[in-house]
Structure 1
Amino acid sequence: MDTKKAVEIVESLGVIEVKYNERPVWIQNINEKSNTAKVKDINTNEEFNVNIKNLVES
């Protein structure tokens, strides 16, 4: 995924399914300077930072 798309998803009023390593995640925050996102695993509530290019809209 690119940064622009990640920002669109965060700003969207709807729910858009996103995965990181096949795990469903919720994008919480985006750092456009470093192209990273803070995400939360929907199943485990684990929070971690990932490279935006590793996120996949599903």
Structure 2
Amino acid sequence: MFQYIKSKKNNNIKLILKDLDRDINIPEDASLRMSYKQKRDIEKLEFKIYWPQRKEYKIDANQK
């Protein structure tokens, strides 16, 4: 799935998650982490996508 998104010219996560209410573009240097947990009768598979924070979203130290 992650490779599919990164291989397209449009890196918008909405290609995979159609019901998402925001446009989120995934940068080329993003990494995918997966974790699997089992607890009693519940199994959980989790996907997380990480990338460095983009300049337009960085909070200035004076704004904190």
Q: Which has the larger radius of gyration?
A: 2
TM over 0.5: no
The TM tier, using the shorter chain, reads 0.3 to 0.5
TM-score by length of 1: 0.37
Which has the bigger relative contact order, CA under 8 A and spacing at least 6? 1
Higher normalized strand content (fraction of residues): 1
